[in-house]
Amino acid sequence: MKSVIKTLSEKLRSGQITSVELTEKYIEAIKRVNPVINAYVHETFEEARRDAEYADRLIKEGKGTPLTGIPFTLKDNIATDGELTTCCSKILEGFRPYYDATVWKKLKEQGAVLLGKTNMDEFAMGSTSETSVYGAPLNPRNTARVTGGSSGGVAAAVCADIAAYGLGSDTGGSIRQPASFCGIVGFKPTYGAVSRYGLIAYGSSLDQIGPMTHSVTDAALVYDAIKGEDCADQTSAPVHMGPTALNGDVRGIKIGVAKEFFDGINPQIKGAIDAAIEQYKNAGAEVVEVSIPALKLALPVYYIIACAEASSNLGRYDGIRYGYRAANYSSVDDMITKTRTEGFGREVKKRIMLGTYVLSSGYFDAYYKKACLIRKRVESQLAECFEKCDVLFAPTAPVTAFPLGYSGGNALETYLSDVCTVPVNIAGLPAIALPCGKDKDGLPIGMQIIGKKFDDERVLDIAYFAEKSKLCELEDVEGGVRL
């Protein structure tokens, strides 16, 4: 793992390259690489050039931050004033918000350079990014494989280095799982640590924006730039506002290992994580066994709650105020039904239907209400774990990147692949996914380090040990910028 942001930032500050020049390099790389991997769905090159000029001014005036002048990408569900924001859905075709997401506003002020919006599962509903209306992005490490999802476009763009970093969103693993499939770092902060304002909602009580980067150092730099309470998001919370200190000193830390996380996972993945834990042990960490009996239930609970919230959140796409509108209809009500029927893809419709079902009278108590109760149980069992350890180590996914097209015929199996990531969202915890090896097909294996609420900086610091000790070095993918 190398800090791309630090490298670029030093070059910019020392005058070896300007942001305008750097941006052109990225634009050129996108034009070359993107037709193959389909990471970007909306390019914002004009915006990027303006951003770069502003960044160069900031640097000249000595007002730069580590992110000033560095080109990056946003997932297509994060609102950008005047630029297409479509959630990779037909129903939001042509939609240009007239407001900025708080995270983009913060980055823009620091002179970050927005290259474009990246591919994703439609409305972030999926684990492979194949439900995108623009077609799936391809995994740069093996283009016959999926990138994972739903933030697959960001993962592919960062992996191929046609973005220095990106922001994704994570409702049930959508940052961490594609990061692992593509062999990069993905960090999901504590629920509330980063503002959700401008993030187009999927499951509001689970959604969280976070960085997807080449390294832990980069993840910490980006996290520092976007974190903090926001008066436009009441669920955001105050957090420590200084820079995250990374020492990578793991002496005396207690690593919790819950066997429930390892049930039924690919043995190669288990092997890679065991090996990583060994290295932490060698550096002075202690391993404690913990148990989370309710963990298995987290997955159905996640699907019930996420879909319930989604069925409500997606009610607003009615063709009246934005996006797609059906061409022929017999009444306003019929227009709404036709717009939605034509505008949403299969997976989205399925989840809306499931959410409608679990909230409908007669089923509410058996599904939604009970799911909320179990959610509490999962949360409290995880909290109990953290009385015995500082962080939990777990796989990111029970499998490595699926072949393209595989999930279409294996819906439930694909759902099950979220088993290791959803408990974190259910409990609102911070977790980082980072590469820890490769399987026999050469596909990256990811591991997760999960912390307790608002222990984001600790999680980053413990993950930094892996970077510092070169625990796992994956080779660069050909074709990107790679300065």
Partner 1 sequence: MAISEKEIKTLARLARLEFSEEETKKFVPEFEEIINFADSINQQVEGDTASIREVTTRIATWDELREDEVKPSLPSEKITSNVHSDNGYFAVRRVVK
Partner 2 sequence: MKYQLVSGLETHVELATATKIFCGCTTAFGGAPNTRCCPVCTGQPGALPILNKRVVEFAIRAGLATHCTINTTTHLDRKNYCYPDLPKAYQISQFDKPLCEHGYVELESGKRIGITRIHIEEDAGKLVHESGFTFIDYNRGGVPLIEIVSEPDISSPEEAREYVEKLQLIMRYIGVSDCKMQEGSMRCDVNISLMPVGSTKFGTRTEIKNMNSLSYIEKAMAYEYSRQAEILDNGGEVVQATMRYDEHTGETSVMRTKEDAQDYRYFPEPDILTVVIPEEKVEEIRASLPELPTDKLKRYVNELRINPANAQLLYKYKAVCDFVEKAISLGAGVKNTVNLTVGTLYSKLETEDDKERFNLPVTAEEMAKLVKLADEGKINITLAQKTLSKMAEEGKPVSAYISESDLAGVDEGELEGICKKAVESNPQAVADFKAGKEKAIFALYGFIKKATQGKADIKKADAILRQLIMK
Q: Which residue of 329, 469, 474, 479 would you call a contact of partner 1, by CB under 8 A?
A: 329
Question: Which string of x and - marks every residue 42-81 that binds partner 2 (by CB under 8 A)?
Answer: -----------------------------------xxx--
Given its phi and psi angles, is residue 211 left (phi above 0), alpha (psi -120 to 50 degrees) or beta? beta
Cβ 199 to partner 2 shortest distance, Å: 6
The entry of partner 1, partner 2, none near residue 199 (CB within 5 to 8 angstroms by kind) is: partner 2
Question: Which string of x and - marks every residue 385-414 that binds partner 1 (by CB under 8 A)?
Answer: --------------------------xx--
Stretch that binds partner 2, among 143-151, 258-266, 331-339, 428-436 (CB under 8 A): 331-339
Cβ 197 to partner 2 shortest distance, Å: 5
Stretch that binds partner 2, among 65-73, 155-163, 200-208, 389-397 (CB under 8 A): 200-208
Shorter beta-carbon distance to partner 2: residue 233 or 249: 233
The entry of partner 2, partner 1, none near residue 94 (CB within 5 to 8 angstroms by kind) is: partner 1
Stretch that binds partner 1, among 46-54, 118-126, 211-219, 324-332 (CB under 8 A): 324-332
- Kindly give, in sequence order, each residue whose CB lies less than 8 Å from that of residue 269, ignoring residues fewer than 6 positions away: 395, 397, 398, 399, 400, 439, 445
| CB of 8 closer than 8 Å to CB of 480 | no
Q: Which residue of 242, 328, 409, 440 would you call a contact of partner 1, by CB under 8 A?
A: 328
- Local structure of residue 145 (DSSP, 8 states): B
Q: Which residue of 96, 312, 370, 439 would you call a contact of partner 2, by CB under 8 A?
A: 312
Residue 97 found at the interface with partner 2 (CB under 8 A): yes
| CB of 91 closer than 8 Å to CB of 316 | no
E strand or H helix that includes residue 159: helix 152-159
Residue 371 found at the interface with partner 1 (CB under 8 A): yes
d(CA 272, CA 475): 17
**Residue 320 is which amino acid?**
I
d(CA 124, CA 111): 27
Nearest to 481 by CA among 17, 14, 60: 17
Strand-strand pairing, 391-395 and 254-258 = parallel
HSE-up (13 A, CA, CB side) for residue 301: 26
Residue 85 found at the interface with partner 2 (CB under 8 A): yes
Question: Which string of x and - marks every residue 43-82 that binds partner 1 (by CB under 8 A)?
Answer: ----------------------------------------
E strand or H helix that includes residue 105: helix 102-109
Angle between helices 19-37 and 45-60 (to 10 degrees): 150
Q: 3-state secondary structure string, 265-290?
A: CCHHHHHHHHHHHHHHHHCCCEEEEE
Q: CA angle, 429 as apex, 423 and 433 as ends, to 5°?
A: 80
Residue 321 found at the interface with partner 2 (CB under 8 A): yes
Active site residues: 75, 150, 174
Shorter beta-carbon distance to partner 1: residue 294 or 434: 294
CA distances from 322 to 28, 94, 125, 187, 340 (A): 32, 8, 21, 32, 12
CA distances from 232 to 80, 124, 239 (A): 16, 22, 16
Cβ 376 to partner 1 shortest distance, Å: 6
Site of interaction with partner 2 (CB under 8 A): 77-79, 85, 87, 92, 95, 97-99, 101, 196-201, 203-205, 231-235, 308-309, 311-312, 315-316, 318, 320-322, 332-333, 336, 356, 359-361, 364, 368
Site of interaction with partner 1 (CB under 8 A): 94-96, 98, 191-192, 205, 231, 234-235, 237, 297, 300-301, 303-304, 311, 315, 318-323, 325, 327-333, 335-338, 340-341, 344, 349-350, 352-354, 356-358, 360, 365-367, 369-376, 379, 411-412, 415, 427-428
